[in-house]
Amino acid sequence: MGVNTDFWTDRRVLLTGHTGFKGSWLAIWLRSLGAEVYGIALAPENEPSLWSTAGLASCVDGSFTDIRDQSALTDKVLAFAPEIVFHLAAQPLVRASYRDPVETYSTNVMGTVHLLEALRQTESVKAIVVVTTDKCYENQEWQWPYRETDRLGGFDPYSNSKACAELVCASYRDAFFTPAGVALATARAGNVIGGGDWGAERLLPDVLRAWDAGEELTLRYPGATRPWQHVLEPLSGYLKLAEYLLAVGTSGPSAWNFGPDNDSVVSVESVVARMAALWTYDQARWRCVEASQPHEAGVLALDSSRARSQLAWRPHWTLDMALQRTLDWHSAWRKGDDLQALCLQQIALHQGESV
């Protein structure tokens, strides 16, 4: 079952992080569904960005507001009066969190607190989806996937800050939102890929930057295993989760995993080798570095049984399909095609619609 198009028509949706990679894709999707979207985020950190190349400033209303500014954030939230909220704004990088842990915690923890405080004052809100990460679990380096009931933790400041955000949500849910009849759930997804990601220190953007320039790619963690998925996979889960929260209210589970099938849980080097097999430009080269690197989890996978059984959600694309869609998008960008139109085409393909 796909996303319910009729559900989203004229819904007032607040989307934080709407200028980021995932946020831009979600903004495009929500607009295509007929939702009234208001975004709150910083200006895009990287240029080019999906926000700019797809021309989203002309069709998505919003504000460049820092979620660490509680007063400004509250004013924007109250003025828009949303019914549904997706919270994606974050400092999203592990290595950046080592360089500046204070910014990471202030954004990911206190930024979440500021948003939830603003939403406490917003009578119109009915459902809140806070997006964290698969890295919020206390990683035991075991082979089986993590379930929503497993212990939270996090070695690096980024992962730990997202575990903290999960605890913040649990407290606000129990203390404030459930008594008020507002449904709040957290969503944990794997490593996302897709067109329009130029983020720093992420695998596919690093691959494309290096190979576009005819350079050799350097792999820092070639053996690290991750749950790779196209960005549309978890986004479809977030949309279906919001639909579910509106239907069941505060009675549903509070945390949800959205991970790929087992055959898409592979090593970093395996992803690069698969990408090289699809690369049609100059020679694709890479090397693995032996130097000491900041700690990251070695093995990580998610159990998404809850989403499959209760939301009728499932991954639509294999890893190879996701890589091909990413490369298709990148090739269209190189040619100067209409990228917002391409995003809409890929969304339709993902949902099994004719294009």
Tens of pLDDT, residues 60-105: 999 999 999 999 999 999 999 999 999 999 999 999 999 999 999 9
CB-based burial, 110-131: b 16+ in 10 Å, e otherwise: bbbbbbbebbbebeebbbbbbb
Mean residue pLDDT of the chain comes to 95
> Is the pLDDT reported for residue 118 higher than 70?
yes
> Is the pLDDT reported for residue 228 higher than 90?
yes
pLDDT of residue 294: 81
pLDDT of residue 143: 81
CA distance 164 to 105: 9
> Is the pLDDT reported for residue 235 higher than 60?
yes
* Structure confidence at residue 121 as a pLDDT band (50, 70, 90): very high
pLDDT of residue 281: 85
The residues with which 152 forms a beta bridge, in sequence order, are 137
* 285-299 pLDDT, tens digit each: 999 986 667 877 778
Give Cβ neighbours of residue 37 (< 8 Å, ≥ 6 apart).
13, 15, 18, 27, 30, 31, 60, 61, 62
pLDDT of residue 354: 43
* Pair 302, 146: CB distance under 8 Å: yes
The sign one gets for the Cα dihedral 226, 93, 13, 83 is positive
Percent of the chain with pLDDT over 70: 98
**Strand duo 12-16 + 255-258: pairing:** unpaired
Among all chains, which residue has been given the structure tokens 């085409």? Answer: 345
What's the pTM value of the predicted model, to 2 decimals? Answer: 0.97
pLDDT of residue 46: 87
Lowest mean pLDDT across 125-129, 174-178, 187-191, 294-298: 294-298
pLDDT of residue 289: 86
> Is the pLDDT reported for residue 169 higher than 60?
yes
pLDDT of residue 220: 87
Helix (H) or strand (E) segment spanning residue 104: helix 101-105
pLDDT of residue 2: 84
Residue 118's φ and ψ, nearest 5 degrees, are -65, -40
